[in-house]
Amino acid sequence: MRTDLFDFELAADRIALRPASPRDSARMLVVQPGAPLQDRSVADLPRLLEPGDQLVVNDTKVIAAQLSGRRLTRGGEPIIDATLIKRLDGSRWQALVKPARKLAAGDVVRFGNEGKVCLLGHLDAEVEHKGEDGEVTLSFSFHGPVLDQAIADLGAPPLPPYIASRRAPDERDAADYQTMFAVREGAVAAPTAGLHFTPALEAALRDRGVDMHRITLPVGAGTFLPVKAEDTASHKMHSEWGTVSRETAEALNAARAKGGRIVAVGTTSLRLLESAAEEDGTVKPFAGETAIFITPGYPFRAVDILMTNFHLPRSTLFMLVSAFSGLDTMKQAYAHAIGQGYRFYSYGDACLLFRAKSPS
């Protein structure tokens, strides 16, 4: 499909720079096939679901993946900013760097911030490989848990570029940019639909008879990237590692057999569940890479309802929600949201999408 079909205009003042407080007070647009759009709030979620429905959240935790340092080799010592995007092994990460033109294979970058303690106060990495669009492979001088601690000490939360370009990250973001479910470190972006949840909302859902399950997919920086290809068929997705436990798969299948619906909290949860699903919708235990790219025409197998935020134009995520609820429906929903003052993107408001019926 043509990428420009997924374009829309959004004024900068619609981009949320801080989350709602409390988190479940955010607005939520309900989109159901053949029904009028409903302006609700996240706190209404229990009343919009039925007993027996199964909510699935991503329990990944955002690491301090934004590092700043200087090149030590070849003189000049220019400032280098790096965002870690994918762990390769115990000492190597793929990263996006700026300015990329200042680095070449074999260069050494020293990361460190005055006032923070990390062993000797710094962290060195060699540029092992340089790819396209600012992507490099960094081989760090530390390994395993020691490297993890060094990154935690020296790094900062990697706020999305549409927020970071308008204000500097601060101490509030360290808490604001984590979901209440975050336990498994490795993400460089938050699964932002989960940011709307509070203990009170979880309790209300359980009281309603809605069970909750956790799966893990560390979100990569590719989630921020627009599709540059003119046709979606030419776009290549970044792969991400995800896991669905046997216990979770069995619980979801048992509930669905009794008529319960699977509700994915966030596009990452949906992508992982669809990667783990058989053609008949049975969810299998899963542990592996997924690069699933969902566009209109995709036959959904596992997920019945999707709770998600409002996404970037021309992004793979807007393509995904258009596949789930229909492109025309989502364009109308986004136009309504813009007109009604909904807040967009990572710290913004939510949608609750009911899957469009497949054409017979």
Spatial distance between the Cα atoms of 173 and 271, rounded to a whole number of angstroms: 26
Amino acid identity for residue 223 in this structure: T
All structural domains of the chain with their residue ranges: 3-62+175-354, 66-155
Range 60-79 average pLDDT? 90
Phi, psi of 273 (to 5 degrees): -65, -40
Handedness of CA 342, 38, 211, 275 (dihedral sign): negative
Per-residue pLDDT of 271-317, as tens digits, reads 999 999 999 999 999 999 999 999 999 999 999 999 999 999 999 99
Entry pTM: 0.90
Percent of the chain with pLDDT strictly greater than 90: 75
Band (pLDDT 50/70/90 cuts) for residue 360 is: very low
CA distance 67 to 303: 36
Find tokens 């959004």 and name the residue: 10
What's the whole-number mean pLDDT along residues 115-128? Answer: 72
Q: What is the pLDDT of residues 166-198, one digit of tens each?
A: 888 888 998 999 999 999 988 888 999 999 999
- Work out the average pLDDT over 71-87: 88
Do you know the residue count of the chain? Answer: 360
**What one-letter code names the amino acid at 120?**
L
CATH class of 66-155: mainly beta
Residue 275 tokens, joined: 């990667």
User: Could you report the per-residue pLDDT of 160-174, keeping only the tens digit for each?
Assistant: 888 988 888 888 998
Topology of the domain covering 3-62+175-354: QueA-like (3.40.1780)
* DSSP class per residue in 259-293: TPPEEEESHHHHHHHHHHB-TTSPBPPEEEEE---
Going by the DSSP 8-state scheme, the letter that residue 82 receives in this structure is E
What was the pLDDT predicted at 115?
A: 42
CA distance 321 to 298: 11
Same fold, 3-62+175-354 and 66-155: no
32-45 average pLDDT score: 96
